[in-house]
Structure 1
Amino acid sequence: MDHISQDAAETRSPFLPGPTAPGGRPLRTDVPRPLGRGTALLPPRPSGRTVGGHTARQLLDLCALVGLDASDSAAYARALNDALGPVVHRPLDLPPAVRTFLSDDHTPVEFSLSLSAGTAPSLRILLEPASGFGTLGESGRLALRAVHELARRWDIATDQLDLIQDLFLPDDPQGSFALWIALELSPGGVPRMKAYLNPSASGPDRAGATVREALRRLGHHRAYDSLPPTDRLVFLALDLGDWDTPRLKLYTAHHELRASTVSTLNRMAGGPSPAETEAFLHTASGLPDGRDGVFDRRPVLTCHAFTDPAADHPSGFTLHVPVRDYARDDREVLGRAETLLTRYGIDPAVLRDSLGALTPRRLEDGVGLIAYLAMVHQEGRAARLTAYLSSEAYQVRPPGGRPSGPRPVR
């Protein structure tokens, strides 16, 4: 049986530099940066393990849960560590090499489960390739190299990304990240790939213009004007390669959102009803039915998917609720998720089991293992729910001390 050991998982990436960054500067893995303000994290437990070994083990266990065979699982674990680069060798006893916007504890990996009634669960990985290299610009260039190497490995076309890469990967980018990769893991060892780009790469004041130019190059001339009002453009994402209906997706943030206005954010024709959208938000956030509230901590996100360049409205709508900021602990979040999954006719067992695959800790001892819960609608497909799961390679966010749920509106 093919399998991957911790040692095998931590082999050096074949397409990233060795112990130095471009220009000969030392790799940043030995220069930790401070964690973000306002986020208290429990101290890590000495483990003797590394980023690569930890995340590969989690991935293998999750692959087994969703029914992927050992050979495919091992190939995906190797691909994950190849894309991450030398940070896979970093001991977990040390602090994170760099701050990453991808997770609360700065692990450069996030997992997610996409679940719908009557179908097998789908496992995805979101990762920051070349994590820990040089400047943000250098990291972006190496991340792009990793994308192209993975694409060649699996014969995935990157032409859509190539058309717009200069807009999002300038020589001196701004913002909290340069380029992320998502892999949707399929039987057969060939995943479906997505690229996530930063609209603020040329500055937050240029985000709208950057996205408009990208949409023009990609032929989606009417997409931008169909978006709801937003405080911030968070991501532009592209489906790369062999998708049944490739999507271009725009993610928007809605700070201080009132729950009573959430249904106005959907621009998809034939999408979820206002009642369904409000019910999902209330249950995911712990807001009692019939009550209004303000999401005054981490903002709610929406994703607007476009498939037809000629269309004047999105073909998909996703509502992302940052549940870890509106719950006391992960047991409370899991209870909300189980209620939602049951409502949509989905067995919650695989989500429960996935949490045990990620960590042996008790759910009441932390919050953030489930980072987001999302409701997904796409034309021609049944509604899906997605749970975004944290690796917690470095640290665990302690249970919250403030009341759960958004701030009530009286």
Structure 2
Amino acid sequence: MRTTRALRALLPPWAHERIGPSPAEPSYVAGDGFPAEMSVNWSGRHPELRVLFDSLGHDVIPPGDSGFGTRRLERVHETFTPRTGRPSPAPLWHSMAWRPPSDVVHKSYFGLYPWPHAQREQAVAEAMARLGMSTAWDDARRRVETVDGEREIEFFAVDLADEAAARVKVYYRNHGADLTSVNRVAAVASRHDPDRAAAAYRTLAGTRTDAGEAALTCLAFRSGLDRAAESTTYLRLPDLAGDDREAVERTATLLLREGVDPGRFRTLAASLAPGPLSESRGLLELVSYRAAGRAGDVTTYFRFPVYPPPPPLSPVDLA
């Protein structure tokens, strides 16, 4: 109940509005425009529950710790606004993560996807300079550019925590990448096991050798390091699997190989599905894997089928 109360206090005003037949303001979080998702990280003795939501333009200030974590967010916030020459304010997302018995952790995400690519690059470079991480970012950017393929920066995120382990994260969206390419991008980080990662990707992708539609790579940076510390790869299961049943089975296989009993994951997926998993697709939207030394570092991302999917684009819309 404590976590439920904290979530209700943190959610923006839209959380109190009745859900209608279509989103009043569609969000980029989910394909149907719903502004929230739920995810679970399965590493460790206790899973970590996460809820992410789009503030939809509301001024939402996470409670943070009133210490360095909050100051870190304040230090970079202006970088993602028109005050520093950006074309528009970056959409702001927040998340809260709870792994009992630890305290709740808060995170903030700036969505750079509405801007031209040059503006995204400039904003990230400025933010990393403000945080004293220019050397690590320059190193990561150069390494990423050596990997063949097309990709774009999509998000910049900060952990709102005092701990030395708190991260600053940059998310790349890969286009038309194969599994080898996303593994090479992930290897930009200093802590990455390419063999374990490759095996995990193959399990999730099934017979496919490509990484599916718009796979994501997150590079995580920590204070005092001159290189990206860790990386996480996100694969989009609705493109790689025929339905949610197949997506859940592949993920359960990966969890078992990582030493995690998949029973709770199967139960959760079945409880969230609107019907049989074999008759749905997209409930299990993303599965991420981080090969940085901790077993079972798998996160499952659930998108709820709240609104009818948008109609397919006509030839005129595609022109």
TM-score, normalised relative to structure 2: 0.85
Change in CA separation of 1:158 and 1:73 when aligned onto 2, cut-off 3 Å:
closer
Q: Report the counterpart of residue 389 of structure 1 in structure 2.
A: 302
Q: Which runs of 5+ in 1 are unaligned?
A: 1-70, 132-138, 398-410
Aligned residue among 194, 198, 207 for 1:278: 198
Change in CA separation of 1:86 and 1:100 when aligned onto 2, cut-off 3 Å:
closer
Q: Report the counterpart of residue 165 of structure 1 in structure 2.
A: 77
Residue 190 of structure 1 and its aligned partner are, at CA, apart by 4.7
Q: Report the counterpart of residue 12 of structure 2 in structure 1.
A: 84
Q: Aligned ranges for residues 101-180 of structure 1 at < 5 Å?
A: 101-116=28-43, 118-129=44-55, 131=56, 139=57, 142=58, 145-148=59-62, 150-151=63-64, 155=66, 157-170=69-82, 178-180=91-93
Counterpart Cα distance in 1 of 2:263 and 2:79: 43
Work out whether 1:332 is the aligned partner of 2:252: no
Q: Report the counterpart of residue 235 of structure 1 in structure 2.
A: 155
Helix, strand or coil: the match of 1:181?
strand
Work out whether 1:199 is the aligned partner of 2:129: no
- Of 343-352 and 218-227, deviating more is 218-227
Aligned residue among 252, 269, 274 for 2:172: 252
Q: Which runs of 5+ in 2 are unaligned?
A: 311-319
Letter aligned with residue 107 of structure 1? F
Letter aligned with residue 300 of structure 1? A
1:315-340 deviation line (CA, Å, top 9, x unaligned): 11111101112222100100110110
Query: What percent of counterpart residues are identical?
Result: 26
Q: Aligned pairs, how many?
A: 301
Q: CA RMSD in A?
A: 2.7
1:250-306 deviation line (CA, Å, top 9, x unaligned): 111111112233331111224112x22222222212225xxx4363xx211111111
Q: Aligned ranges for residues 7-406 of structure 1 at < 5 Å?
A: 71-79=1-9, 82-92=10-20, 94-116=21-43, 118-129=44-55, 131=56, 139=57, 142=58, 145-148=59-62, 150-151=63-64, 155=66, 157-170=69-82, 178-187=91-100, 190-199=103-112, 203-225=116-138, 226-227=140-141, 228-229=144-145, 231-243=151-163, 245-265=165-185, 266-273=187-194, 275-287=195-207, 292-293=209-210, 295=212, 298-311=213-226, 313-378=227-292, 381-395=294-308
Residue 222 of structure 1 and its aligned partner are, at CA, apart by 1.4
Counterpart Cα distance in 2 of 1:77 and 1:162: 21
Letter aligned with residue 210 of structure 2? G
Could you tell me whether the CA contact under 8 Å between 2:197 and 2:291 is conserved in 1? no
TM-score, normalised relative to structure 1: 0.67
Change in CA separation of 1:356 and 1:175 when aligned onto 2, cut-off 3 Å:
farther
Residue 309 of structure 1 and its aligned partner are, at CA, apart by 3.5
Letter aligned with residue 135 of structure 2? R
Counterpart Cα distance in 2 of 1:372 and 1:175: 28
Residue 174 of structure 1 and its aligned partner are, at CA, apart by 5.2
Counterpart Cα distance in 1 of 2:11 and 2:86: 21
Letter aligned with residue 17 of structure 2? H
Counterpart Cα distance in 1 of 2:102 and 2:221: 27
Residue 199 of structure 1 and its aligned partner are, at CA, apart by 3.4
Q: Report the counterpart of residue 20 of structure 1 in structure 2.
A: none
Residue 155 of structure 1 and its aligned partner are, at CA, apart by 4.7
Greater Rg over alpha carbons, structure: 1
Counterpart Cα distance in 1 of 2:89 and 2:202: 30
Residue 186 of structure 1 and its aligned partner are, at CA, apart by 4.3
Counterpart Cα distance in 1 of 2:211 and 2:220: 26
Counterpart Cα distance in 1 of 2:66 and 2:211: 46
Letter aligned with residue 79 of structure 2? L
Counterpart Cα distance in 1 of 2:90 and 2:129: 23
